[in-house]
Amino acid sequence: MASGAASRSEDEEPLAGPKRGSAQASGAVPKRRSSSRFIKRKKFDDELVESSLAKSSSRAKGGVEPGRCSGSEPSSSEKKKVSKSVSTPVAPSPVPAPSLAKRMKKSKQPLQVTKDLGRWKPADDLLLINAVLQTNDLTSVHLGVKFSCRFNLREIQERWLACQAMRQLHPEAIAAIQSKVLFSKAEEQLLNKVGSMSQPTLDTFQELLHKHPDVFYPSRTAKALQLHWQLMKQYYLLDDQTVQPLPKGDQVLNFSDAEDMLDDSKLKDVRDDVLEHELTVADRRQKREIRQLEQELHKWQVLVDSITGMNSPDFDSQTLAVLRGRMVRYLMRSREITLGRATKDNQIDVDLALEGPAWKISRKQGVIKLKNNGDFFIANEGRRPIYIDGRPVLGGNKWKLNNNSVVEIASLRFVFLINQDLITLIKTEAAKMAQQ
């Protein structure tokens, strides 16, 4: 075996040598080597059909590809493929799947059939027939009848002789459709006899139906005639209605001219006694509330001012002290005031909720009093402590307030300012009264 392999290699070397030498001598570029192996990939449905058709046609011709019909001799691998194809029976072309066949059938259907499918309904057919029999004009039907779908004149003409499904409609549906039939000219001429200035009733139109049964459509009712007559009157289509042309040029009326032409006496509303009584009662109630507020003015003990960037004086001739916060300031104008959180059931003098969040503050947190000697004291009547200059004042205790004392109540901080001039005046008056 080794000698055979050596002899085979020796035989092949002389053949390869001259070829390489000739290629190098001629200077030609050697061909790029590439694989001729077929790489399989997934095919789509249309490619499967085309490939099956191509295979069936090639097998019918003898299994020989047209590209290999040249005079060159086939290789050994090709001979083996040909021999296998001759020896094995030719398989029939694969039948496409049912889903693929359905898809092919759907694609071959015309688009116009699917477009018009279900557009014409039996109700439209019956309405079309009744309208044409009434007017004898397809153009008028196209312009005046409102179908369930918008059709053009050509579609209406094509459908005129193809209405068979209307026979399956319910009698009530047929009656409802017949009530929508257009009025003919003869019917409108009879309705024109009813004057526009008159006030016709249903009996008037019922009498018209009895007198002219051959003119009106069988499904007409007195109510339908009355509605159509009202429409004709609204659009000035009655014979006795004279339409005045609109003025042009300088004769055009403006808004002021039209307002002068109006009669104000006709625009007055009828007096409503019940409404007048309700308005009078509401006016009395509001006046009573205003009178009560005026009577309670002297009872007000604290005024609240919003703090602005302007330097306004903190005191006036009636202010004893000021409890000043970041947002508002409370002016103390009586010897005793209450502090806390105001509710619907509990009214206090100083509502701390105006300064900030006061949900932790009691409804009656404390009381500030002015003694006869001119000293201010604060008494804690709430659950949480009150801090005066950092010192806690528990519930049930009291503490003296000095000028510029810092009062902290549930994270709300205030500065207590005393009107020294007014307090000095009060002290002197008290001393005088004590001496007398």
* pLDDT at position 163: 59
Calpha distance 353→368 (Å, rounded):
18
Give the model's pLDDT for residue 111: 46
Q: What backbone phi and psi angles, to 5 degrees, belong to 379?
A: -110, 130
What is the tens place of the pLDDT at every residue in 333-374?
888 999 898 888 888 888 888 888 888 888 889 999 988 888
Taking only the tens place, the pLDDT of each residue in 273-296 is: 888 899 999 999 999 999 888 877
Higher pLDDT, 65 or 157: 157
Best mean pLDDT range from 32-41, 91-100, 367-376: 367-376
Give the lowest-confidence range in 103-107, 320-324, 344-348.
103-107
- pLDDT the model gives residue 65: 44
Long-range CB pairs of 8-15 (<8 Å, 24+ gap) are: none
Residue 285 and residue 141: Cα distance in Å, rounded? 67
Q: Which of 346, 337, 333 is nearest to 367 (CA)?
A: 337
- Nearby residues of 106 by Cβ (< 8 Å), 6 or more positions away: none
Q: What is the pLDDT of residue 227?
A: 92
**Which pLDDT does position 206 carry in this prediction?**
92
Q: Report the pLDDT value the prediction gives residue 49, as an integer from 0 to 100.
A: 54
Beta sheet of 328-332, edge-to-edge order? 302-306, 328-332, 321-324, 412-418, 405-409, 386-388, 391-393
Beta bridge partners of 380: 366
Confidence label for 210 from pLDDT (cuts 50, 70 and 90): very high
Read off the pLDDT of each residue in 180-201 and give the average, rounded to a whole number: 89
- Where are the domains positioned within the chain? 116-178, 185-234, 299-435
* Window from 43-52, 187-196, 324-333 with minimum mean pLDDT: 43-52
What is the pLDDT at residue 386? 92
* Residue 195 or residue 33, greater confidence: 195
Tell me which CATH code domain 299-435 carries: 2.60.200.20
What's the pLDDT at 19? 45
| Residue 141 contacts residue 184 (beta carbons within 8 Å) | no
Question: What pLDDT, on the 0 to 100 scale, is given for residue 15?
Answer: 43
Q: Yes or no: say if 159 and 128 are a contact pair by the CB < 8 Å rule.
A: yes
Tokens, residue 49: 């059909």
**Who contacts 299 (Cβ-Cβ below 8 Å, separation ≥6)?**
none
User: At residue 389, what are phi and psi to the nearest 5 degrees?
Assistant: 55, 40
Q: Is the pLDDT of residue 434 over 90?
A: no
Residue-wise pLDDT tens digits, 239-283:
888 655 555 555 666 777 777 777 777 666 777 888 889 999 999
Residues in the chain: 436
Res 282: pLDDT: 94
- The residues, ordered by sequence, that sit 6+ positions from 151 with a Cβ below 8 Å of its Cβ are 119, 142, 159
Amino acid 279: pLDDT: 92
pLDDT over 70 at 148, yes or no: yes
pLDDT at 56: 53
Structure token digits, residue 66: 């047209």
Q: Residue 205 above 60 pLDDT?
A: yes
Closest listed residue to residue 218, CA positions, set 209, 227, 229: 209
Give the CA distances from residue 297 to residues 73, 294, 303, 348, in Å, rounded to whole numbers and listed in that order: 127, 5, 11, 15
pLDDT band per the 50, 70, 90 thresholds, residue 327: confident
Residue 3 has pLDDT above 70, yes or no: no
Assess whether pLDDT exceeds 80 at residue 302: no
Q: What is the structure's pLDDT at 209?
A: 92
Confidence of residue 158 (pLDDT cuts 50, 70, 90): confident
Q: What pTM value is reported for the model?
A: 0.32
Q: Which residue has the tokens 């399956």?
A: 168
The residues, ordered by sequence, that sit 6+ positions from 177 with a Cβ below 8 Å of its Cβ are 123, 126, 127, 130, 169
Confidence band, pLDDT 50/70/90 cuts, at residue 90: very low
Cα torsion angle, 308, 349, 316, 373, sign:
negative
β pairing state of 350-351 and 336-340: parallel
